[in-house]
């Protein structure tokens, strides 16, 4: 397997770990997501190149491994995104509740 692809896979894994550990409100979170998108693009280019260079069935195990990694990365990214969306919804709910209490207090 291409060492560039291995490096990119490790980078994606590391970025996913960092995103999971970084608070959603942190500005670094947005930067990490952008780096993740760039790394995914880079990975896709490497995999496309790998597919185009495949001449026989010897590439099948490598491609199968990459497919499993893709599914794993996709699953983790979806879980992170879902968690962040839940946090945003919770924040909006809390903001609405605070506004209600402020309106009640202002009407006294």
**pTM for this one?**
0.76
The most confident of the ranges 24-28, 42-46, 91-95, 103-107 is 42-46
Phi-psi region of 70 (alpha: psi -120 to 50; beta: other; left: phi over 0): alpha
Structure confidence at residue 56 (pLDDT): 74
Nearest to 46 by CA among 97, 87, 8, 91: 8
Q: Is the pLDDT score of 108 beyond 90?
A: no
pLDDT at 38 over 60: yes
| pLDDT value for 17 | 94
Backbone angles phi, psi at 23, to 5 degrees: -65, 145
Mean pLDDT across 16-27: 88
């Amino acid at each position: 397997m291409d060492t560039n692809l291995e490096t990119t896979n490790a980078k994606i894994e590391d970025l996913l770990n960092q995103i999971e550990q970084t608070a959603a409100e942190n500005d670094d979170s947005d930067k990490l997501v952008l780096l993740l998108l760039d790394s995914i693009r880079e990975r896709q280019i490497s995999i496309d190149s790998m597919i185009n260079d495949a001449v026989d069935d010897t590439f099948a195990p490598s491609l199968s491994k990459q497919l499993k990694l893709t599914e794993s990365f996709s699953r983790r990214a979806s879980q992170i995104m879902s968690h962040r969306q839940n946090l945003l919804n919770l924040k909006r709910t809390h903001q609405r509740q605070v506004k209600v209490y402020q309106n009640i207090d202002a009407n006294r």
